[in-house]
Amino acid sequence: MNSHEKSAPSRIARHFEACANEDRPALVTFITAGDPDLATSQAIMDGLPGAGADLIELGMPFSDPMADGVAIQLAGQRALATGHTMKATLQMVRRFREKDTDTPVILMGYYNPILSYGNDAFLADAVAAGVDGLIIVDLPFEEDAEFCLPALKAGLSFIRLTTPTTDDVRLPLVLKNASGFVYYVSMTGITGAAISDYDVVGQAVKRIKAETDLPVAVGFGIKTGDDATRIGKHADGVVVGTALVNALAQSLDAEGRATDATAPAVHDLVRSLAQGVRRARD
C-alpha cells in the first residue's frame, strides 16, 4: 500500500495549520522507541494522540547519543538492552499506522544506525511504514548530499535543528533544505537542561520566522504544562522529550521493567501539556 507516500509530507503541515487555526501551538511529544520494552512503548505511542499529542517524535535508540542528556541516553540503553533494533522501530510505526493514519510521525536519532541499515533501504522502509519526517542530529547541512537530499526525494520531510549558535550566515543555509517544520533548540546544551530566558527564545523564533514560511517549534527545557504555555506564546509548536522520558523512568520497578503505571504516567503528563498549549495564547 502506497497511500502514505503521497499523503505523508502534507500531514505535518496540515497539523500545524489546524493548530494555528485553533490559535494554539502544536504539541510535539518525544518518546524513545522500545523504552522500556517494545510492547509498552507501542502502547505509549498508540495512546499519545488520544492524550493530546499533535505530532509524535519517535527516538531511534543509539549507543552514543552525544547531543542528549542522561535521561534520553538511559532510555536508549533500556531499549537496546531488550535487543531493540531499527527494524523494531519501523515496525512500531507500521503498527501505529494501522490505527492512526492522521498523526504525523517523525523519527529522530543519529546517523550511524541508518547508515548501517543502508540509506536507501531505510528511506524505502520508513516511507512504507508511514513515517512523515526525520530529524538526524549529527547531519548538519554541510553533509546534505549524504542523506538529506535522498530523504527529500523519497518524500520525507527533513526537519532541521537551529540553535542559539546558528548565526546570520548559517541560518539561511540551515533552512535551505529544511522541510516540515523548524526545530529551534532553545539553548546551547543537551536535552534535559533548563531554559533561562523566555523572551530571548521568543526573539530567536521571530528571527527564524523572518527567514522561512515553515512553522517553528521550540524544544529543550520544556517540562510542565506551564512551561508549554510560556514557550507556546512565542512558537508554532512546543517539543517535549526529556520530561516524558523521566515520567516513564519514574514509573518503572526496581529492575527497570514497566509497571501498570508506566503508560498512564506518560499519557497523564501529555494531557497536562496539552492543556498547557491551549492556554498559550490566553
- The residues annotated with a catalytic role in the active site are 57, 68
In the set 6, 21, 167, 213, which binds other proteins (CB under 8 A)?
A: 167
**Among candidates 166, 100, 160, 174, which has minimal Cα distance to 130?**
100
Q: Is residue 114 close enough to count as binding other proteins by CB under 8 A?
A: yes
Q: Is residue 189 close enough to count as binding other proteins by CB under 8 A?
A: yes
Instruction: Give whichever of 209 and 279 is closer to other proteins, judged by the CB atom.
Output: 209
Q: Is residue 212 close enough to count as binding other proteins by CB under 8 A?
A: no
Q: Is residue 174 close enough to count as binding other proteins by CB under 8 A?
A: yes
Tell me if 254 sits within 8 A of 205, measured CB to CB: no
* Beta pairing partners, 55: 28
| Least Å from the CB of residue 88 to other proteins | 9
**Among candidates 189, 200, 262, 265, which has minimal Cα distance to 235?**
200
Instruction: Give whichever of 73 and 262 is closer to other proteins, judged by the CB atom.
Output: 73
Instruction: Give whichever of 134 and 274 is closer to other proteins, judged by the CB atom.
Output: 134
Measured distance CA(17)–CA(100) in Å, rounded = 19
Crossing angle (nearest 10°) for helices 70-81 and 242-250: 60
In the numeric block, the cell 543555509 is attached to: 173
Instruction: Give whichever of 188 and 203 is closer to other proteins, judged by the CB atom.
Output: 188
Q: Is residue 140 close enough to count as binding other proteins by CB under 8 A?
A: yes
* Beta pairing partners, 162: 184
Q: Is residue 86 close enough to count as binding other proteins by CB under 8 A?
A: yes
Measured distance CA(17)–CA(24) in Å, rounded = 10
| Least Å from the CB of residue 147 to other proteins | 10
| Least Å from the CB of residue 6 to other proteins | 30
Q: Is residue 115 close enough to count as binding other proteins by CB under 8 A?
A: yes
| Least Å from the CB of residue 279 to other proteins | 30
170-200 burial: b if 16+ Cβ within 10 Å, else e: ebeebbeebbbbbbbbbbebbbbeebeebee
In the numeric block, the cell 549524504 is attached to: 146
Name the residues that contact other proteins, by CB under 8 A.
61-67, 69-70, 73, 80, 85-86, 110-117, 137-140, 142-143, 160-167, 170, 174, 185, 188-190, 193
